[in-house]
């Protein structure tokens, strides 16, 4: 009987030890699960932060690209205006030269006609 009682005590001790070991294992797994959850939350927060910074950078790039395009458009328009102004000045000079040439031609012809009339008039007298 003492053997049976000793055996029963050993079994009870083993059961208690097994329960303690099982409780410790469950507690450790719960702690691991909590840590994994915390890690997943932190990783998600970091991903959101990273995505936000990337979106800000992309938006800043787009804004800068628009500013550059606008600047190029303005410079192109200004260059076109300057080219048009230069063309207008050249045309004005061409017109002035043609007017002078026409005036000189008219004056030369008037002088020629005057000389012709002067030369013809004395012969008639």
The tens digit of pLDDT for each residue in 53-84 reads: 999 999 999 999 999 999 999 999 999 999 99
Residues shown for the chain:
125
Residue 45 C-beta-side C-alpha neighbours within 13 Å: 6
| H-only helix segments in the chain | 2-124
pLDDT over 90 at 124, yes or no = no
Phi, psi dihedrals of residue 105, rounded to the nearest 5°: -65, -45
pLDDT over 80 at 108, yes or no = yes
Which pair of structure tokens corresponds to residue 97?
Answer: 């030269």
| Least reliable range by pLDDT among 5-14, 24-33, 77-86, 113-122 | 113-122
Residue 8: per-residue pLDDT:
87
Would the pTM of this model clear 0.75, i.e. be above it?
no
| Least reliable range by pLDDT among 5-9, 53-57, 76-80, 95-99 | 5-9
What is the band of 2 on the pLDDT scale with cuts at 50, 70, 90? confident
CA–centroid distance for 118 within its chain: 81
Mean per-residue pLDDT, 93-111: 92
């Amino acid at each position: 009987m003492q053997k049976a009682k000793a055996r029963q005590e050993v079994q009870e001790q083993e059961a208690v030890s097994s329960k303690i070991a099982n409780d410790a294992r469950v507690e450790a797994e719960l702690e691991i699960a909590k840590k994994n959850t915390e890690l997943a939350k932190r990783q998600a927060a970091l991903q959101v932060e990273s995505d936000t910074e990337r979106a800000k950078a992309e938006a800043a790039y787009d804004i800068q690209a628009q500013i550059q395009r606008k600047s190029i458009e303005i410079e192109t328009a200004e260059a076109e205006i300057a080219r048009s102004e230069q063309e207008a000045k050249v045309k004005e000079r061409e017109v002035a030269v043609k007017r002078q040439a026409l005036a000189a031609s008219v004056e030369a012809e008037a002088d020629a006609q005057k000389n012709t009339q002067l030369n013809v008039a004395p012969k008639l007298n």
